[in-house]
Structure 1
Amino acid sequence: MPDGSLPGLWEHISTARWFAGKGRGGRLIAAGLFDAVDPDAPCPVHHGLARVRHDDGGRDVYQLLLSERHGPDGPPGICPAPGGGRLCDAAEDEAALAHWARALLDTTAGPTSGADWRVEHMVAFPSRVRAAHRLSGEQSNTTVVAEGDGDQAVMIKVFRRLEPGENLDITTCAALNRAGVDAVPTVFAAVRADVDVPGFRDGPTDLAMATGRFPDAADGWRLICSRAAQGRDVSAEMTELGAALGRVHAAMAGRFGTGLLDGDGTAERMTRELDDAIILAPALAPHRGPLVAIFDELRGRSLPVHRVHGDFHLGQTLSTPDGWRIIDFEGEPLRPAAERRSLDSPWRDVAGMTRSLSYASSEAPGPAEAGRREWLERARTAFLAGYGHRDDAVLLAYEANKAVYETVYETLNRPGWVGIPLGATTAMCSGAGALLPDTAERKDR
């Protein structure tokens, strides 16, 4: 894949929703295209790379998905194609997407590969792709829905800001598929290439993944918020979700191994994160002593660890007629890739869900705070019962650590919402558990 100039590409990259470098300045230092996935298609689609250098010295590699057009049909061009014609945003070119998806998922033609990239087929898609379109509402990645016969469909997620090595979502879901866990998406295929990503020079980097779509699925966040707003008890749903997470955790431990985490070091890390947070969110300062005491309960312990979800909340769940499904195993996006691949405490995931329930309970009927507290406590208790075991001191430490993070996030991004995590922090420090403040706001967590 030659690196060369593609005029006009920087404007497209720097204004795209998936570009993570907004506010950092920067420039395009190199760009190039892989061989087309299906060069004989009427509008071939190329995976490409764009190397960006930011004003702060950081460097990122972004993946492009560009369709090649030589006539009047299709979307407007982004830049000239090296061999003539124009390159378009393939995510907006549905005819091109259909050919591209069909070529990626077709196992009858043998291995799919180009000079620089290749597709690993894990499960055969039992249909021929008929149509494809980009899923709206995307942020850091781009998801294409490829439709087959009847209600058969796959979701092809194109990773935009490339990270070195294997993608956690692919490796985790594929391993859980092999373990027979039905609570996660089925991985049909993965697209990989030998890419020189900063900090990684050994092995392929994942470019995209194709997974099954769950029919008649309801977004877990919207569903539970709706039930909370109506004051409807969700104990049955939360018991089932806790059990689903427990099964996933057990399979992760079996597939990826286990270890032990030093409780003293974990308490010290959480305290350092608190001190850093107080600088950005001074409202946490009065709670420092009680929070440190909560973290210190981890001292002297050895905490079991294994592979975890890493960013578990209601927005990462789907409610289906066949039960709860858990998605997006890439981990917390702001943490480094190497850190997200490391083993971690399962209580991080459990705390992520209990804190998410705290946000959802802000939708409960008001103004009486007691109603929201009661709803949250029932939901929380049911989730923990479904999970099957609990360690209140460890869970409280992880909940407090998560609330500290949330307080900083809301202070910097949504000051009107800071009452939710700050009120929960106040309740934890007073020994009342993860309760709600008076604020009745909403967040997609």
Structure 2
Amino acid sequence: MTDVTALPAEALPDLWEHISGARWFAGKGRGGRVAAALLFGAVDPGAAHPVHHGLAQVRHDDGGGDTYQLLLSRRRGTDGPPAICPAPGGGRLCDAAEDSPALAAWARALLGQGEETAAGPGEGWRIERFRRAPSPVRAAHRLSAEQSNTTVVAECDGEDAVMIKLFRRLEPGENLDITTCAELNRAGVAAIPTLYAAVHADITVSWSTLGPTDLVMATGRFPDASDGWRLVRSRAAEGRDVSSEMAELGRALAVVHAAMADRFGTSILDGDQVAARMTGELDDAVAAAPALATHREALAAVFDRLRGRSLVAHRVHGDFHLGQTLSTPAGWRIIDFEGEPLRSAAERRSPDSPWRDVAGMTRSLSYAASDAPGPADAGRREWLERARAAFLAGYGHRDDAVLRAYEANKAVYETVYETLNRPGWVGIPLGAITAMCSGAAALLPDTAERKDR
């Protein structure tokens, strides 16, 4: 690549402090350092506060490592956000996600009208524009509800806006969110975002084996949308029935699944292999979250019910929960098709049973009920059972043994995630696992230590 600057060794500890403290950092609890970092040329060199994409090579204490993408604005003087580290050639590098004027200029450059494909800030970069985006961009800000990536809201004239997602932990190959949205747009599925643009690059630096990878995607914003998690959690707190909404969401997921099967094709999973994989994941999870150890045999028995079965598989969402949904006047909308952030790229790209997504939502409803500060536990269980039944009815026929295995697998994943990221929430998946292993119908713990989101 051309127009690339290696950041000096004295800047790397400051970059590690910035990366390791970010919500999108996937290596929490592993320790580590930034071993190397690169800064690419500015996306719009003529901007008052130029924005640079960067790469950081993170090495963990356990021997593993990842490559993270940075978005850095170059500032001179004392105005703007605080410095992360000095900038090569003078000034300071700041977190561009906290630098609204710089973000707006960056968004304008990415969404520029005209050619379908434009050059990026270095050799091997490509900005692919699928359709004309709203314009002009008048302001931009980071979306506060971020998790494994960073989303920038680019406000355009009128009520239009574009959501620009910056992928943080980079992986080789096509990004599932981009390819899925592009294909389902072509199929005319209304429940998913409109894809405007994507940024691709061939990462060929000496310490990275990424090769071609995706860096950014830009999609439309749904007007008058309400975050699915906040909406359903608030109704759980009030004890308000959500059966009609959950039935509608189940139908929306069924439409998306049907289109995925049609556009990407189907295959068959061997139930013995799925059970073995889930049991292997359980054993890995016990090492990361020892509280699972007492449930190991009972959970393995739940997975063993898949043996001897053949499961239809196709591309799925892979990380489906209320936080990946939006309620709009036109119906439910489904976003973020990258899959579970702790799974490898190969796992997330592989076909899976659609019951993984169904189980993701039933587990999310359990979270909404558990976290609701209003009704007593008995009321929460009743609310959850109604919501869960309505969602499953909307989705269509179910196989309880397969669904329960995927619910258990998801709860194991959640236990590891909460142990590493939100220890105060770990009682929610552990309580559900206790219920599953005891044969109880409810998937809600009797008691759980809960903290505000």
Calculate the TM-score normalised by the size of structure 1. 0.90
The farther-off stretch of 86-95 and 317-326 is: 86-95
What does residue 422 of structure 1 align with? Answer: 430
What does residue 11 of structure 2 align with? Answer: 8
Unaligned runs of 5+ in 2: none
Letter in 1 for 2:15: H
Q: How many Å separate the matches in 2 of 1:350 and 1:266? A: 17
Does the residue aligned with 1:145 lie in a helix, a strand or coil? strand
Q: Does 1:107 align with 2:113?
A: yes
Report the Cα offset of residue 151 of structure 1: 1.0
What does residue 32 of structure 1 align with? Answer: 38
Q: Does 1:144 align with 2:152?
A: yes
Q: Is the 8 A contact 1:358 1:434 kept in 2?
A: no
Q: Is the 8 A contact 2:83 2:94 kept in 1?
A: yes
Q: Is the 8 A contact 1:46 1:67 kept in 2?
A: yes
Report the Cα offset of residue 22 of structure 1: 4.7
Report the Cα offset of residue 412 of structure 1: 5.9
Q: How many Å separate the matches in 2 of 1:378 and 1:346? A: 22
Change in Cα spacing, 1:159 to 1:320, as seen in structure 2 (3 Å) is same
Aligned match of 2:398 in 382, 387, 390?
390
Name whichever structure is richer in strand by fraction: 2
Report the Cα offset of residue 289 of structure 1: 4.8
Report the Cα offset of residue 288 of structure 1: 4.6
Change in Cα spacing, 1:381 to 1:443, as seen in structure 2 (3 Å) is farther
What does residue 90 of structure 1 align with? Answer: 96
Q: How does 1:218-297 map to 2 (within 5 A)?
A: 218-278=226-286, 284=292, 287-297=295-305
Cα-to-partner distance string for 1:192-229 (whole Å, 9 max, x where unaligned): 11113878455x21111111111221111111111111
Cα-to-partner distance string for 1:243-276 (whole Å, 9 max, x where unaligned): 1111111111112221111011112222333344
Does the residue aligned with 2:128 lie in a helix, a strand or coil? strand
The farther-off stretch of 405-414 and 393-402 is: 405-414
Q: Is the 8 A contact 2:239 2:375 kept in 1?
A: no
Q: Is the 8 A contact 1:231 1:364 kept in 2?
A: no
Does the residue aligned with 2:252 lie in a helix, a strand or coil? helix
Change in Cα spacing, 1:282 to 1:172, as seen in structure 2 (3 Å) is same
Q: Does 1:207 align with 2:210?
A: no
Q: Is the 8 A contact 1:241 1:383 kept in 2?
A: yes
Q: Does 1:355 align with 2:363?
A: yes
Q: Is the 8 A contact 1:120 1:189 kept in 2?
A: yes
Change in Cα spacing, 1:428 to 1:88, as seen in structure 2 (3 Å) is closer
Query: How high is the sequence identity, in percent, across the aligned residues?
Result: 75
The farther-off stretch of 4-13 and 126-135 is: 4-13
Unaligned runs of 5+ in 1: none
Q: Is the 8 A contact 1:91 1:144 kept in 2?
A: yes
Q: How many Å separate the matches in 2 of 1:126 and 1:282? A: 50
Change in Cα spacing, 1:381 to 1:112, as seen in structure 2 (3 Å) is same
Letter in 1 for 2:48: P
What does residue 49 of structure 2 align with? Answer: 43
Q: How many Å separate the matches in 2 of 1:282 and 1:428? A: 18
What does residue 401 of structure 1 align with? Answer: 409
What does residue 345 of structure 1 align with? Answer: 353
Cα-to-partner distance string for 1:340-370 (whole Å, 9 max, x where unaligned): 1111111111111111112222227543x43
Calculate the TM-score normalised by the size of structure 2. 0.89
Q: How many Å separate the matches in 2 of 1:255 and 1:229? A: 39
Aligned match of 2:312 in 304, 320, 328?
304
Letter in 2 for 1:8: A
Number of corresponding residues: 443
Change in Cα spacing, 1:3 to 1:61, as seen in structure 2 (3 Å) is farther
Q: How many Å separate the matches in 2 of 1:277 and 1:25? A: 19
Change in Cα spacing, 1:112 to 1:371, as seen in structure 2 (3 Å) is same
Does the residue aligned with 2:366 lie in a helix, a strand or coil? helix
Change in Cα spacing, 1:194 to 1:10, as seen in structure 2 (3 Å) is farther
CA RMSD in angstroms comes to 2.7
Change in Cα spacing, 1:24 to 1:404, as seen in structure 2 (3 Å) is closer
